[in-house]
Amino acid sequence: MKTLLFLLCSTVMVLARPALDKPNVIIIFLDDCGYGDFSHTGNPSIRTPNVSKLVREGLNFPQFYTASGACSASRYALLTGRNPRRSGFGTWVLSPTASKYIHPNEITIAEGLKNRGYSTGFFGKWHLGNPNSSNGFTTNAFPLAHGFDTWEGTNVSNDYDPGADLVKSNPSGTTPVAGYEIIAEDILNKQPLHEELTKRYGERAVQYIKDNKDNPFFIYLAPNMPHLPVHASSEFKGKSLRGLYGDCIEEIDAMVGSIVQTLGEEGIQENTLLIFTSDNGPWIRFENTASHAKYDEARLLVGSALPFRDGKGSTWEGGVRVPGVFWWPGTIDPAKVQHQPASTMDILPTVFALAGEPLPTGRTLDGRDIRNYLNSTEFPTSPGTFKFVYTGAGSNVIYGARAGAHKLHIRLYSQTGNNYGFSASRSNPLLFDVEKDPHERFDISGSNASIVNQLDTIISDFETSLATEQTFWGAP
């Protein structure tokens, strides 16, 4: 009997996939979540033990950036590794009736991993196009045309009225287009459905892990919240010290915990890279508003970007600096902190390299392969200097650039209309050392002409790239 057990155990060990052999990838991409909304970033009234566990056991980036301060632009950049200005959308937020969508010639994370034999599941908000009369109800506007095997979620943000539908892929479905079916239309006023959205997505992700545990998989999990309107299920409502907003975040934290627990129960946590981040900062425009046409009692239902300036929509640090946690037991050392900056655009080159998928050709990528930050022994090649061009507000125009510790503003924007006594232009820019001065209080442009010129050159090179390459939709 002992010999038989030994042989069985040995067989299991032989069949197990090595950790570095096409690791599973899970990206959790929150909506409008502030940098300061978590225990590990100092929030005193929102309890997030499961995200803290990821930080203790994995890699934390205190300087992690999303590519835009708004929904569609940031999602485009995450999935393609490209600056939102290259999307050709002409806007940073695609409405339900917009004619454009993520172009079929773009290569997404899902498409690249699918090429390597991955199963690809998506649960949550899409917001990269919608089949409608202005684009001939094309199926190219929806996720299955961009590498995903299955999807359940909303087409746009959950505050559109009308326009936000809960949709799922279905081979026999025909509404709104072939291969899909609408679960619920115009969900804004369906509070019970809203309250269950986070739970719904978490359950779908857990089941997908169980169904695909024996082969490599990619899960893109994009909760609708804490974007307004904020909700939580009955299990979490009234539990947080921070009111309904805190309830919402604590439910998201519990969802993270259920995913990590499932990976452990299925014995695949060492085969899985999990990335936790957000699409942009909090919607502070409504933080002191007692009510809003779409949201009852909006007061205190938005998050915190502290200790940074401003929030969603802006290229001040509070709009684009977001949580950045990478967890991969056995490959990433516990409690690792990487003080060098990185961005959501770095994710595609990194996971493609891990999966053995070549980088897309015929286009410019703005992200880098940052495997070295995960494990410098296994991946000794340095990512090099962080160079980042800020685009945003309206049509994804250029707002500034960063390299190393320095950040240049050539344009300013805040949804609150408050630029804190500053102004900026190409001829009179602002310069901050955001490592010494993360609050962006002290303009040092006057005494650092060479750094200003260096960052201006990064902007000029980006402009040249745009003019040379164009976008798949034409001129940017």
Question: Average of pLDDT values for 2-26?
Answer: 64
Say if CB 361 and CB 81 are below 8 A apart: no
Question: Average of pLDDT values for 435-464?
Answer: 97
- Pick the range with the lowest mean pLDDT from 51-55, 282-286, 341-345, 346-350: 282-286
Say if CB 305 and CB 284 are below 8 A apart: yes
SS3 (DSSP) at 22:
coil
Residue 228 has pLDDT above 50, yes or no: yes
Say if CB 102 and CB 111 are below 8 A apart: no
Q: Considering the chain, what percentage of its residues have pLDDT values greater than 70?
A: 94
Question: Average of pLDDT values for 378-407?
Answer: 95
Say if CB 31 and CB 282 are below 8 A apart: no
Residue 2 has pLDDT above 90, yes or no: no
| pLDDT score, position 389 | 98
> Is the pTM of the predicted complex or chain greater than 0.75?
yes
Q: Which CATH class is domain 20-374?
A: alpha beta
The H or E element that residue 7 is part of is: helix 2-15
Residue 300 has pLDDT above 70, yes or no: no
Q: Structural domain boundaries of the chain?
A: 20-374, 387-469
Beta bridge partners of 408: 401, 431
Q: Is 339 a catalytic residue?
A: no
- Pick the range with the lowest mean pLDDT from 80-84, 112-116, 325-329, 391-395: 391-395
pLDDT (tens digit per residue) in 246-298 = 999 999 999 999 999 999 999 999 999 999 999 999 999 887 654 454 554 54
CATH of 387-469, one of 3.40.1010.10, 1.10.599.10, 3.30.1120.10, 3.20.20.220: 3.30.1120.10
Question: Average of pLDDT values for 378-396?
Answer: 94
Phi, psi of 59 (to 5 degrees): -115, 130
Higher pLDDT: 415 or 445? It is 445
SS3 (DSSP) at 139:
helix
Calculate the alpha carbon distances from 46 to 74, 154, 171, 199, 292 in Å.
Answer: 25, 26, 41, 18, 24
How far is C-alpha 181 from the chain's CA centre?
25
Active-site residue, selected from the candidate residues 9, 33, 40, 71: 71
| pLDDT score, position 301 | 84
Distance CA 310, CA 205 (A): 33
Beta bridge partners of 361: none
Q: 236-239: long-range contacts at Cβ-Cβ below 8 A with a sequence spacing of 24 or more? A: 237/195
Distance CA 358, CA 366 (A): 15
Say if CB 209 and CB 199 are below 8 A apart: no
Residue 424 has pLDDT above 80, yes or no: yes
Starting at the edge strand found earlier in the chain, the sheet holding 150-154 runs 180-184, 166-169, 150-154, 119-124, 217-222, 24-30, 272-278, 325-327, 59-60, 336-337
Higher pLDDT: 400 or 189? It is 400
| pLDDT score, position 289 | 56
Higher pLDDT: 17 or 471? It is 471
**Two tokens, residue 38:** 């978590």
Q: Considering the chain, what percentage of its residues have pLDDT values greater than 90?
A: 88
The H or E element that residue 397 is part of is: strand 397-403
SS3 (DSSP) at 155:
coil
Residue 418 has pLDDT above 50, yes or no: yes
| pLDDT score, position 5 | 46
| pLDDT score, position 459 | 98
pLDDT (tens digit per residue) in 193-220 = 999 999 999 999 999 999 999 999 999 9
Active-site residue, selected from the candidate residues 9, 40, 103, 127: 127
Band (386; pLDDT cuts 50, 70, 90) = very high
Residue 14 has pLDDT above 50, yes or no: no
Say if CB 48 and CB 382 are below 8 A apart: no
| pLDDT score, position 295 | 52
Higher pLDDT: 298 or 435? It is 435
pLDDT (tens digit per residue) in 112-159 = 999 999 999 999 999 999 999 999 999 999 999 999 999 999 999 999
Q: How many helices (H) and strands (E) does the chain have?
A: 11, 16
Local structure of residue 114 (DSSP, 8 states): H
Distance CA 165, CA 187 (A): 6
Say if CB 48 and CB 260 are below 8 A apart: no
| pLDDT score, position 306 | 93
SS3 (DSSP) at 74:
helix
pLDDT (tens digit per residue) in 304-332 = 999 999 999 999 999 999 999 999 999 99
| pLDDT score, position 12 | 42
| pLDDT score, position 290 | 46
Q: Is 127 a catalytic residue?
A: yes
| pLDDT score, position 82 | 98
Question: Average of pLDDT values for 11-22?
Answer: 68
Question: Average of pLDDT values for 29-54?
Answer: 97
Distance CA 305, CA 398 (A): 22
